[in-house]
Chains A and B, each alone.
Chain A
């Protein structure tokens, strides 16, 4: 029993950063307490660590509201893009403008959402919160002439941005500008061409998809001015 608890404690501790995990497991081993006591210590420590970031309001915005609300809006944008894509063969300039606008919007907003979410320490909870609306919409999808898989078109740019954000390497200011321009241009082109038909009505709601891209741009720009360099760490967000 004691060995099993200790084995479990070591597996759970692996959720946390390597150096800290090693130090804490070493401390517990040195004290020579029972496996159950060590497991309780590790559980308390992991829970405390997981809860820690939620004391900051930014975690609630970027770690909870963004993944939940953002995934809903991005799914709407994905379905709109799929529908616009079907209309391209008609060959009208409007259909083409819709596809271009929605593609740029999805790329810019999806990438920035993924980057910002993955830069937070709350990323595991965020991933779960993003999955909930996806599962709900996937189960309720009722457009006969479109595959439910089109709901997940947004996953490409989001996962791309998330992979970049999780690396915690520097983000070039030019990349932030490119993402911001891409998302903004796409949004205005979409609005001008009547795209985004599966998004909730109201420009203010739709424009919330631009917030991560602008936040990223503002943050990287400010950091660049402050540090007089072009690099900013992703985990500083």
Chain B
């Protein structure tokens, strides 16, 4: 099963869709968790997810805003969607009946 940060990365990338790349995923994670996300953590997690076949990344277009540097675009694969859904279902199951639990 994937880890918590892997789930956050998959969820953020899935939510952003075609606009998912390093900086936007990082911002999305920081927005929902209200915590700072280290860029090293994000990129090593992306590598891990890619080696597991859960995401696909490629170098996208460069923009002037980025000093002419390319973006690392991210796309969640069907296996990635499945892994994220499995993680979410497990969290729901383990939380069921607890005071903070959310019923599906």
Q: Which chain A residues have a beta carbon within 8 Å of chain B's beta carbons?
A: 19-20, 22-31, 41-42, 44-49, 52
Report yes or no: B72 in contact with A41, Cβ–Cβ below 8 A.
Answer: no
Query: Between A and B, how many residue pairs show CB distances below 8 Å?
Result: 67
What are the residues of chain B within 8 A of A47 when measuring CB–CB? 40
What are the residues of chain A within 8 A of B88 when measuring CB–CB? none
Choice from A27, A42, A52 contacting B23 with Cβ under 8 Å? A27
Q: A44–B42 Cα gap in the complex (Å)?
A: 11
Q: Which chain B residues have a beta carbon within 8 Å of chain A's beta carbons?
A: 21-23, 26-27, 38-41, 43-44, 59, 62-63, 65-67, 69-72
Closest residue of chain A to B27 (Cβ to Cβ) is A31
Report yes or no: A52 in contact with B59, Cβ–Cβ below 8 A.
Answer: no
> With contacts A28-B39, A44-B40 known, is A23 near B22, CB below 8 A?
yes
Given A27-B22, A48-B44: 14 more A-B contacts, CB < 8 Å: A19-B59, A23-B69, A24-B43, A25-B67, A26-B23, A27-B21, A28-B39, A30-B65, A41-B40, A45-B38, A45-B39, A46-B40, A47-B40, A52-B44
What are the residues of chain B within 8 A of A45 when measuring CB–CB? 38-40, 43
Closest CB in chain B relative to A47 CB, distance in Å: 7
Report yes or no: B62 in contact with A48, Cβ–Cβ below 8 A.
Answer: no
> With contacts A19-B59, A20-B72, A31-B23 known, is A26 near B67, CB below 8 A?
yes
Closest CB in chain B relative to A145 CB, distance in Å: 54
Q: A209–B39 Cα gap in the complex (Å)?
A: 41
Choice from B40, B41, B59 contacting A23 with Cβ under 8 Å? B59
Q: A25–B27 Cα gap in the complex (Å)?
A: 15
Report yes or no: A27 in contact with B26, Cβ–Cβ below 8 A.
Answer: yes
Q: A49–B72 Cα gap in the complex (Å)?
A: 17
What are the residues of chain A within 8 A of B70 when measuring CB–CB? 19, 22-23, 26
Report yes or no: A25 in contact with B69, Cβ–Cβ below 8 A.
Answer: yes
Report yes or no: B23 in contact with A30, Cβ–Cβ below 8 A.
Answer: yes
In the complex, the 6 A-B pairs of residues with the closest C-beta atoms, listed nearest first: A26-B69, A45-B40, A26-B66, A23-B72, A48-B40, A27-B23
Q: A27–B60 Cα gap in the complex (Å)?
A: 12
What are the residues of chain A within 8 A of B59 when measuring CB–CB? 19, 22-23
What are the residues of chain A within 8 A of B43 when measuring CB–CB? 20, 23-24, 45
